[in-house]
Amino acid sequence: MTTSPLAKVLTVSTSVHAGSREDGSGPEIVRLLESAGFVVVERAVAPDGVAPVAQALRRMAEGFAGLIVTTGGTGFAPTDFTPEATMSVIEREAPGLSEATRKVSPLGGLSRGRAGTIGSCLVLNTPGSPTGAVESLDAVLGLVPHALELLAGGAPH
Question: How many Å apart are CA 30 and CA 102, to the nearest integer?
Answer: 20
Say what the pLDDT of residue 154 is.
Answer: 76
Question: How many Å apart are CA 56 and CA 145, to the nearest integer?
Answer: 23
pLDDT band at 157; cut points 50, 70, 90: low
For 48, what's the count of Cα atoms within 13 Å in the CB-facing half-sphere? Answer: 16
The yes-or-no verdict on residue 2 having pLDDT over 90 is no
The yes-or-no verdict on residue 1 having pLDDT over 50 is no
Residue 12, classed as helix, strand or coil, is strand
Question: How many Å apart are CA 148 and CA 38, to the nearest integer?
Answer: 12
Q: What is the pLDDT of residues 45-100, one digit of tens each?
A: 999 999 999 999 999 999 999 999 999 999 999 999 999 999 999 999 999 999 99
The yes-or-no verdict on residue 155 having pLDDT over 90 is no
For residues 22-28, average pLDDT: 97
Q: Nearest to residue 100, comparing CAs of 92, 89, 111? A: 111
pLDDT band at 156; cut points 50, 70, 90: low
* Percent share of the chain, pLDDT over 90: 92
The yes-or-no verdict on residue 13 having pLDDT over 90 is yes
Question: How many Å apart are CA 95 and CA 73, to the nearest integer?
Answer: 18
Domains for the chain: give ranges and CATH numbers: 6-151 (3.40.980.10)
Q: Nearest to residue 44, comparing CAs of 62, 150, 3? A: 62
If you average pLDDT over every residue of the chain, what do you get?
Answer: 95
